[in-house]
Amino acid sequence: MPVAVVLRASVAALALFAGSAAAQTPADAALVERVKQEVLKELRESGALDRAVDAGVERYVERQRAAAEQSAQRQTAALRPVSGARDHIRGNPDAPVTVVEYSDFECPFCKRFHGTLKQLVDQSNGKARWVYRHFPLEELHPVKARKEAVASECAVELGGNDAFWKFADRFFELTPSNNKTDIETVLPRVAREIGLDEARFASCLASDRYARRIEEDYQNAVATGGRGTPWSIIVSKSGKTYTLSGAQPYAAVKRLVDLALEEQ
C-alpha cells in the first residue's frame, strides 16, 4: 500500500479514536495517547514516515525547479536578439557562445568585470563573443552613468565599433567609479586619446540623441531579470541561457561558457 495511503488511514483512525474518547475518562485519554505513540513508532520503524517526508521534500524541490525553469524561459524570451547593426560586439562575430553584459560605466564591479570578459574573449580562440549593453543605475550613479553611456555611443557614431571598445577600455582605465568621475574632463580626454574629432564629439554629447537607445537597453536588462550590475546572460548556439549576476571570477565565467559550448 502506498505510503501516503497508510499515513492517511493511520491519522484518520487516530482522529476517530480521539473523538470517541473526548468525553471519556482520563484513563481512556491515556489509552488514546499510548495507541498514537505506538502507531507513530511503527510508522517510523517501518520507514513509512521518513518516506512520506522525503516524498514531500521531493515534491517541493520539483516545484521550485519548475518555477526556476519557467523564470529562465521568460528571461530568454525577453532577451533582445543580438544585432550586428546595433549591438557592440567584441570577438568573433560568428562565435558559438555569446556573453551579453548589461553594464554601468560608474559601477566599480563593472570596471573589474570588464577585464575579466576581455580576458575571456581573448583566450576563447574565437568561440566566445562579448556584447555590451547599457544598464546605468541612476539611483546609485545619477547623471554621470547615463552621460558616459551617451559618450560611448558618440564614439561609435564617429569611429565605429572599434571606437566603442577603445572608449570603454580607456574609460575604465582612467576613472575611479562610484560617481566620482570628473566627466567634464575625462570624456573629452578619452575622445582625444582614441582619435575622435573633439568638436563633433562634444556636439554629439550635448545633443543627448542616444537617450532612447540607452533606455531601451536598460529596460531590456530589467526584463531579463537584471537587478544590479554587471548583469550578464550567456547564450549557447542552441539558444540555452545561463545567467550571471555580479563580477564573477574568470574561472566561474569560463565554466559557464564551457557548458554553453557543450550545447551546440
User: What 3-state DSSP class applies to 175?
Assistant: coil
Q: 147-180 b/e with 16+ CB inside 10 Å = b?
A: bbbbbbbbbbebbeeebbbbbbbbbbeebebeee
Read off the C-alpha cell for 105. 560605466
pLDDT at 6: 46
Distance separating alpha carbons of residues 174 and 125, to the nearest angstrom: 29
Q: How far apart are CA 182 and CA 161, in angstroms?
A: 25
Q: H or E element: which one contains 255? A: helix 250-261
Domains and CATH numbers, the chain: 3-78 (no CATH), 88-261 (3.40.30.10)
DSSP state at residue 89: E
Digit-coded pLDDT (tens) for 125-136: 999 999 999 999
Peptide bond preceding 230: is omega within 30 degrees of 0, i.e. cis? yes
What is the distance between the alpha carbons of residues 208 and 118, in angstroms, rounded to a whole number? 28
The count of C-alpha atoms lying within 13 angstroms of the C-alpha of 11, restricted to the half-sphere facing its C-beta, is 8
The reported pLDDT for the residue numbered 3 is 46
Which grid coordinates are listed for 92? Answer: 568573433
Q: Is residue 145 within 8 Å of residue 137, measured between CB atoms?
A: yes
Say what the pTM is.
0.73
For the chain, which residues score pLDDT lower than 50? 1, 3-7, 9, 11, 14-16, 21-22, 64, 68
Q: Pseudo-torsion of CA 34, 35, 41, 46, nearest 10°?
A: 170
Q: Name the grid cell of 91.
A: 570577438
**pLDDT given at position 23:** 52
| E strands in 104-207 | 128-134
230 alpha-carbon distance from chain centroid: 9
